[in-house]
Amino acid sequence: MALLGQYLVNGIMLGTIYALVAVGFTLFFGVLDVIKFSHGDVLMVGAFAGFTAAMAVAAVGISNPVLQLAASVVFALSVTAALGAAIAKWLILPLKHAPRMNILLVTLMLGTALREAVRLFYPDGSNPKAFPALLPTSALTLGDFTLRADSAILVAAGISVIVGLHLLINRTRLGLAIRAVAQDEETARTMGINYALVVLVTFALGSGIAAVAGVMNGLYYNEVNFGMGLLLGLIGFSAAIIGGLGNLYGAILGGFLFAMLQMLGAVAMPFASAYKDVFAFAVVIALMAWKPTGLIPERASERV
């Protein structure tokens, strides 16, 4: 029983990270009907930005972990938000009327460029970096069940970001504008909504959330490396697809579902745990065959 709880906690931790990545995919698809394949690598850039900020703050002699963490998150958020908006402004909006395939390709290539740029130009970038442990490591142990404070804080932070996003989309004027653009671009324009601005803000928002996922990932595994965005991006994309691309709640559901599938593949299946990703992706394929529009299909009126 205690172990079941342990698996559940592990799964929730992973699921939160996946959900944060998936939310970005679904936001971009919602407003512009585009798939931004560089999302995972934007996340990686965010994680490196966070790492750099934490190191820089430590280098000037501030060893307070709270300040380090705050600097890390703020810097990571600003860098990726700017990067996301820049990608939207100079790559995606100009290609809006080009075939969809072009945007897919352009962002795919951009992702590779970002990845290689960090590898080549970040000092010693091809080596994994040890992300400092900035959260308290005290643990709560109940028999076989161990819950560390840092994991609990990360999950809480991740869930509050998701809740915050939900409130932003549903309760604010900005959210209203985003929903309006998602639903019908033409009409939104005629209603006086600044279309380009809404798109840029949405991309900044989605990318910023990816940065949060990147920093969380760094704090949880105490490591960042230039290739971390590749698999995370793919998993986030799959999660958004099985949840129903364009639907916020679907993306969150998809993220947690994928984490649970990985757990299941590693623990409950009669084959080597190295195949857990094979198992999880195979189930995703089966789910897509069963429900091509995702578990919670995007409804025109509810498109985020």
Single out the residue of 10, 78, 112, 183 in contact with another protein (rule: CB under 8 A). 10
Q: Look at the block and give the residue holding tokens 């949880």.
A: 220
Single out the residue of 98, 105, 113, 139 in contact with another protein (rule: CB under 8 A). 139
Single out the residue of 64, 66, 90, 141 in contact with another protein (rule: CB under 8 A). 141
Minimal distance, residue 21 CB to another protein, in Å: 14
Choose the binding region for another protein from 44-52, 98-106, 248-256, 270-278 (rule: CB under 8 A).
270-278
Sequence-distant (≥ 6) Cβ neighbours of residue 223 within 8 angstroms: 128, 129, 130, 131
Q: Which is nearer to another protein, 127 or 170 (CB)?
A: 127
Single out the residue of 86, 112, 122, 128 in contact with another protein (rule: CB under 8 A). 128
Is 36 one of the binding residues for another protein (CB under 8 A)?
no
Q: Which is nearer to another protein, 139 or 285 (CB)?
A: 139
Distance CA(109)–CA(124), nearest Å, equals 23
Minimal distance, residue 213 CB to another protein, in Å: 13
Is 269 one of the binding residues for another protein (CB under 8 A)?
no
Say how many residues touch another protein, by CB under 8 A: 32
Full DSSP string of the chain: -HHHHHHHHHHHHHHHHHHHHHHHHHHHHHHH----TTHHHHHHHHHHHHHHHHHHHHHTT---HHHHHHHHHHHHHHHHHHHHHHHIIIIITTTTTS-HHHHHHHHHHHHHHHHHHHHHHSTTTTS-B-----S---EEEETTEEEEHHHHHHHHHHHHHHHHHHHHHHHSHHHHHHHHHHH-HHHHHHTT--HHHHHHHHHHHHHHHHHHHHHHHHHHHT-B-TTHHHHHHHHHHHHHHHH-TT-HHHHHHHHHHHHHHHHHHHHTSSS-GGGHHHHHHHHHHHHHHH-TT-SSPPPGGG--
Q: Which is nearer to another protein, 125 or 297 (CB)?
A: 125
Is 148 one of the binding residues for another protein (CB under 8 A)?
yes
Token pair for residue 71? 């600097």
Is 216 one of the binding residues for another protein (CB under 8 A)?
no
Is 276 one of the binding residues for another protein (CB under 8 A)?
yes
Single out the residue of 223, 293, 297, 302 in contact with another protein (rule: CB under 8 A). 223
By CB under 8 A, the residues from 225 to 254 that bind another protein are: 227-228, 231
Minimal distance, residue 264 CB to another protein, in Å: 9
Is 7 one of the binding residues for another protein (CB under 8 A)?
yes
- The footprint of another protein (CB under 8 A) covers 3, 6-7, 10, 13-14, 126-128, 130, 133, 139, 141, 144, 146, 148, 151, 221-223, 227-228, 231, 262-263, 266-267, 272-274, 276-277
